[in-house]
A and B are shown apart, each in its own frame.
Chain A
């Protein structure tokens, strides 16, 4: 037994010694205690989930984007503070001309010019050919770029200036308010890496954008498939040397579930531009993305100073961190507005919820301020419609619908809902049947927000004689019910963009089909017209008027109960100078500047 205990203590000792020998012995180490945090010019950033692949055109994952934005460059990107489109690979914003003749008459042409300095890592200049190559990948029907493709499917052709290969014009088929933003936000790929064998050399973009030609190419040109097989493969999504762009960093390694390491290129062409253009900043020598899915672990990592920056801190944790000196001594905590909107959707086709007075009554029963206070600790901004108040075309005439049981009761009574059988729940005769106003709230079984929200509503609804049943289902089932329109009420959130709102996807009746996202069944010819008009009206003032009438329309119909836009919660280590941003993921490691001391 004695021997055993010796062995145990020896083992323990070994671990302790090992732990102390953690840091590489440097001179400073010997003289004073090493600081707990890293002192190198490396940013340790937390990723809340593992990216699916680092291949921009075939991923829709937010975290993939956070990583690849260090590796790839766009023509233009949004300034992180002003949200203005700002040059990255291109010298300036494009010249925009309406096309009046030729096959794309009625469309718009965008002319860009790429920086003279811009070169790939092998020294060859980045030109319009590379943009054309990128667009060919995008429109190759065999590449799994569906989401990105449908976003850009108004592109028709690209023409490269004969005298200046860095200058090119992209023709599109129609006017579109966010056309410039969409085209400018395509990451440009180097052909020499992604198509070493020149499989796509023999076809032109216009062959791929024309549906008929594309269909014939699919059978006559096997290289499309061949290229897609290579491009879609795992190798080009996670291997060092295969993931390459014009940006300042290269992928060094990716350890599943652990970390993704990006190293800065030694001689990057953009070095000359970093001083004048913040979007070309590349200050850290290395960026390490640590994949930490767990909230508790994230908080612990902050307390141990293992990470320099993280966003998406749990609200409650964030409030606690603000009061924790251990953390505030080392980190700056920020809560910028997030481009997000929480809502409760109501099925406007449901017999009970068909009447807009009932929907408004229910809105009166939702104490949004209480929800922000109790569930988000005040870290949210009340919203009354789909448009953020910060947008210039926000309709200020619309007032929040106040929490008022009395108003709700009055509206319900007006709509014919009274408690005729005195069971505490109001009822009404619909199609010859006595229907009680019992509403099923669909929540996923492990969605924290939806569940907590439902429990708050469960308290306020009965005050006006409305019964709320919480229906906890698995997320695929929730999705199925949304699809078949058999739900009554559910909570959700939209991610929003700094660009002008395009309402087509969520509000147009074209999207009111089982797979569409107009789940609540909103819309009429009038609203469709407004949406379509907004999309093609390039004049801002004219558009603002349309936007305002649309907001008015939504306000009156109340197909959704708009809740709030949450604040992002992030922490940045004080050893770096950096600003948070409202753009996802709310921090940009490339901009982080190591402080001198």
Chain B
């Protein structure tokens, strides 16, 4: 048994590792730049200094703060065309543009040269003597800066054409920037003519060392340092704990209720197979099982929480109206009142599922020999049901336990969204929508852990109620 648990923990670790890789790569594939998101607030303000150079300084600082200036992973399989240190270009947009340009031309030296010329001309254009015609200058500069984020040949050529037209408009401007412009367009031309796309067919493995984003995050995770939310800078665990309490409350009530109601229901229906009761409950449970939760929840909110249709039975939203310092009893009652509908919506699908499983389990067991023997021996009916039938029919129910915890988490997404409950589900949806990756990582890792624990509990329970189950066999 001990070795079994050890093995399970090993698997848990393996799962966490894989899930962490999945979560991490999702966050890297996803569009959008967290750094930019965090500093975007600044664009609402009017100020002389909020120019491009200043922006880039703040960008670099923020990226460093978040550790996003490090390489992504331990190693990288790439082509010979890419340089080892592209990650040092901190601005994600520039990095992306350069990477695409390398993709086109395969000649990093030429691309790098082009990028340097681009920056050089940008600096020049920002600091020109007053004799230069400003219409020409501003036109040229805005097109030039577009080059930082544009990499399609057509888009680039269009910009070059417009820049040239602007430059030719004013002789003073031509005098100032004709050479660097010439160098820039030559650099671009060189990038195209001296393209070495063949380099893309040669593999290269870059070793980044252990100071990389994934390593830093995962090791921090293992020592319980879960990072900070991108949205409001709160520690992720704080956010999670705040949310977890509500999810735990509604789910534990719902699961408890579901088991309490469904087991007797299932056993009774199973024992009295084909009775009217059985038929009615079977159909009833089937309908419950198929009713989409989000539909029912929506209907309940629509019909039972506003006086609109005359049946204003429940408070409409959230978990409580009372302040935290209200008397404990009042607060508990108020919370209970708020949770009736959400708990109902979480309970009924689980109830239907478990009761149906239970009935099926009982039906299977009834036909087994030892039950027949027991009854033939004259053991009382009730006793047979509860002592023999019940325990033996429990197996499928235990299997369910393994899936109950993660299912509860997923179910909460629906319920919390509709009933406006600030639990894990809402947190998850919000985090995914807002690309708050530290929170998303944590939710995915947590749900994986919960599932694994669920499986462990189910297996241990199996062993507890049936000594015949041997762990060695089970694992094999």
Asked if B45 and A150 make an inter-chain contact with CB atoms under 8 angstroms apart, the answer reads yes
Stretch at the interface among B74-82, B105-113, B320-328, B379-387: B320-328
Nearest-CB distance from B33 to chain A (Å)?
A: 8
> CB of B337 within 8 A of chain A?
yes
Q: Is the CB of A510 within 8 A of B51?
A: yes
Restricting to B306-335, which residues have a CB under 8 Å from any CB of A? 306-308, 312, 315-321, 323-325, 327, 330, 333-334
Docked-complex contact A476 and B435, CB < 8 angstroms:
yes
**Beta-carbon contacts of B293-315 to A below 8 Å, as 1s and 0s?**
00000000110011110001001
Contacts of A148 in B (CB 8 A): 45
Whether the pair B242, A60 counts as a contact (CB closer than 8 A) is no
Given known contacts A255-B324, A521-B142, A1 and B337 CB-to-CB distance under 8 angstroms = no
Say how far A48's CB is from chain B's closest CB, in angstroms: 12
Q: Answer yes or no: B131 CB below 8 A from chain A CBs.
A: no
- List the A side residues contacting B333 at CB < 8 Å: 18-19, 21-22
- Contact present for A15 and B155 (CB under 8 Å): no
Q: Could you mark each residue 28-62 of chain B with 1 if its beta carbon is under 8 Å from any beta carbon of chain A, else 0?
A: 00111000100101111111111110110010000
Tell me if A297 counts as interface (CB < 8 A to partner B): yes
A528 at the interface (CB under 8 A from B): yes
CB of A477 to closest CB in B, whole Å: 5
Is there contact, CB below 8 Å, between A292 and B317?
yes
With a cutoff of 8 Å between Cβ atoms, the chain B residues found around residue A238 in the complex are 234
Q: Which of A73-81, A412-420, A480-488, A557-565 faces chain B?
A: A480-488
Say yes or no: B340 contacts A474, CB within 8 Å. no
- B142 touching A512 by the CB < 8 A rule? yes
Q: Is B265's beta carbon under 8 Å from chain A? A: yes
Q: In this complex, what residue of A is CB-closest to B242?
A: A256
Q: Is the CB of B49 within 8 A of A153?
A: yes
- Complex contacts, A7 vs chain B, CB 8 Å: 260
B462 to chain A, nearest CB (A): 27
Q: Indicate if A322 sits at the interface (CB-CB under 8 A).
A: no
Of the candidate stretches B18-26, B132-140, B466-474, the one touching chain A is B132-140
Contact across chains for B45 and A147 when beta carbons are under 8 A apart: yes
What chain B residues lie within 8 Å of A237 (beta carbons)?
A: 232-233
Given contacts A299-B306, A505-B43, A505-B46, contact A306 B141 (CB under 8 A): no
The answer to whether A275 has its CB under 8 Å from any CB of chain B is: no
Residue from A146, A510, A524 in contact with B42 in the complex, judged by beta carbons closer than 8 Å: A146
Contact flags B182-217 to A (C-beta < 8 A → 1, else 0): 000000000000000000000000000000000000
B457 at the interface (CB under 8 A from A): no
* Residue among B58, B141, B318 making CB contact with A290, cutoff 8 Å: B318
- Whether B337 and A234, one on each chain, are in contact in the complex, defined by CB atoms closer than 8 angstroms, is no
Q: Which residues of B contact A232 (CB under 8 A)?
A: 233
Q: In the bound complex, how far is the Cα of B31 from the Cα of A505, in angstroms?
A: 26
Residue interface mask A270-308, B partner, CB < 8 A = 1:
000000000000000000101111101101110110100
Give CA–CA (A495, B306) in the complex, Å: 33
The verdict on B227 contacting chain A, using a C-beta distance below 8 Å, is: no
Write out, one digit per residue, whether chain B residues 223-252 have a CB within 8 A of any chain A CB (1) or not (0).
000000001111100110011000000000
Residues in A whose Cβ lies below 8 Å from that of B315:
304, 306
Across the interface, do A512 and B138 meet the contact criterion of CB distance under 8 Å? yes
A261 close to chain B: CB less than 8 A:
yes
- Return the chain A residue nearest B54 by Cβ: A150
Which residue of A146, A480, A516 contacts B52 across the interface (Cβ within 8 Å)?
A: A516
B93 at interface by CB-CB < 8 Å = yes
**Contacts A150-B45, A259-B323, A514-B145: A528 and B422 contacting too (C-beta < 8 A)?**
no
**B306: A residues at CB distance < 8 A:** 299-300, 303-304
| CB of B37 to closest CB in A, whole Å | 8
Q: For residue B234, which residues in chain A have a CB less than 8 angstroms away from its CB? A: 234, 238
Question: Is residue A247 within 8 Å, beta carbon to beta carbon, of the partner chain?
Answer: no
Chain A residue nearest to B257 in the complex (CB): A11
The verdict on A523 contacting chain B, using a C-beta distance below 8 Å, is yes
B324 lies within 8 A of A474 (CB):
no
For residue B143, which residue of chain A has the nearest CB? A349
Does B146 lie at the interface of the complex (its beta carbon under 8 Å from any beta carbon of A)? Answer: yes
Determine if A150 and B47 form an interchain contact, defined as CB atoms under 8 angstroms apart: yes
A301 with B317: in contact, given A15-B337, A19-B333, A477-B31 (CB under 8 Å)?
Answer: yes
Contacts of B36 in A (CB 8 A): 515
Q: Tell me the minimal C-beta distance from A434 to chain B in angstroms.
A: 16
Q: How far is the CB of B262 from chain A (nearest CB, A)?
A: 11
Q: Judge whether A440 is part of the interface by a CB distance below 8 angstroms.
A: no
> Judging by beta carbons under 8 Å apart, are A525 and B133 in contact?
yes
CB contacts under 8 Å to B, within A528-579, are 528
Question: Do the beta carbons of A256 and B422 come within 8 Å of each other?
Answer: yes
Considering the chains assembled together, what is the distance between the CA atoms of A174 and B242 in angstroms? 47
A42 to B264, CA, bound (A): 48
B261 at the interface (CB under 8 A from A): yes
**Segment 1-21 of A: residues with Cβ below 8 Å from B:** 1, 4, 7-8, 15, 18-19, 21
- Distance (whole angstroms) from the CB of A178 to the closest CB of chain B: 8
A169 at the interface (CB under 8 A from B): no
A400 within 8 A of B: no
Given A253-B323, A258-B320, A476-B435, do A150 and B49 touch, yes or no (CB 8 Å)?
A: yes
Determine if A15 and B340 form an interchain contact, defined as CB atoms under 8 angstroms apart: yes
Q: Which of A253, A255, A484, A528 contacts B134 (CB 8 A)?
A: A528
Most chain B Cβ neighbours within 10 Å, of A150, A480, A484: A150
| Cα of A300 to Cα of B313 in the assembled complex, Å | 12
Centre residue among B50, B134, B301 by max chain A CB count within 10 A: B50
Task: Kindly provide the distance from the CB of B314 to the nearest chain A CB, expressed in whole angstroms.
Answer: 8
**Given known A-B contacts A257-B426, A476-B435, A514-B146, A300 and B317 have beta carbons under 8 A apart:** yes
Minimum CB–CB distance for B167 against chain A, Å: 15
Taking a contact as CB atoms under 8 Å apart, the answer to whether A52 and B232 are in contact is yes
Contacts of B12 in A (CB 8 A): none
Q: Does B150 contact A (CB under 8 A)?
A: yes
A301 → chain B closest CB, angstroms:
6
* Pairwise interchain contact A306-B321, C-beta atoms closer than 8 A: yes
Contacting pair A147 B44 (CB below 8 A):
yes
A504 on the B face (CB < 8 A):
yes
A515 and B43 contact, CB distance less than 8 A = yes
**Does A154 sit at the interface, judged by CB under 8 A?**
yes
**With A53-B233, A147-B45 in contact, do A304 and B318 touch (Cβ < 8 Å)?**
no
Tell me, yes or no, whether B172 is within 8 Å of chain A by CB: no
The verdict on A261 contacting B46 (CB below 8 Å), with A22-B330, A22-B334, A326-B307 known, is no
Closest to B231 in A: A52
Output the nearest chain A residue to B152 by Cβ-Cβ distance. A486
- In the complex, chain B residues whose CB is within 8 Å of the CB of A301: 316-317
Q: Do A18 and B336 touch (CB < 8 A)?
A: yes
- Indicate which residue in A234, A292, A349 contacts B318 across the interface (CB closer than 8 Å): A292
In this complex, what residue of A is CB-closest to B151? A484
Most A Cβ at <10 Å: residue of B44, B235, B239, B325: B44
Min CB distance B433 to A, Å, is 9
Least Cβ distance of B18 to chain A in Å? Answer: 26
Most A CB within 10 A of own CB, among B268, B305, B319: B305
Residues of chain A within 8 A (CB-CB) of B370 are: none
**Known: A253-B324, A294-B420. Contact between A474 and B31, CB under 8 A?**
yes
- Complex CA gap A377/B138 in Å reads 42
CA distance A306 to B242 in the complex (A): 23
Q: Is the CB of A150 within 8 A of B145?
A: no
Residue A129, interface by CB 8 Å? no
Decide if B277 is an interface residue (CB 8 Å cutoff). Answer: yes
B145 contacts A524, CB within 8 Å?
no
Contact of B149 with A by CB under 8 A: yes
Known pairs A153-B49, A237-B233, A261-B324. 18 more at Cβ < 8 A?
A: A21-B333, A146-B41, A146-B42, A252-B325, A259-B323, A297-B318, A299-B306, A304-B315, A474-B31, A502-B46, A504-B47, A505-B45, A514-B93, A515-B52, A515-B55, A517-B43, A525-B133, A526-B135
25 A-B pairs within 8 Å (CB atoms) are namely: A4-B261, A7-B260, A15-B337, A53-B233, A60-B42, A144-B233, A147-B45, A150-B47, A150-B54, A151-B47, A153-B47, A232-B233, A252-B325, A253-B325, A294-B317, A297-B317, A300-B317, A303-B306, A485-B146, A505-B43, A505-B46, A510-B51, A515-B36, A524-B138, A526-B135
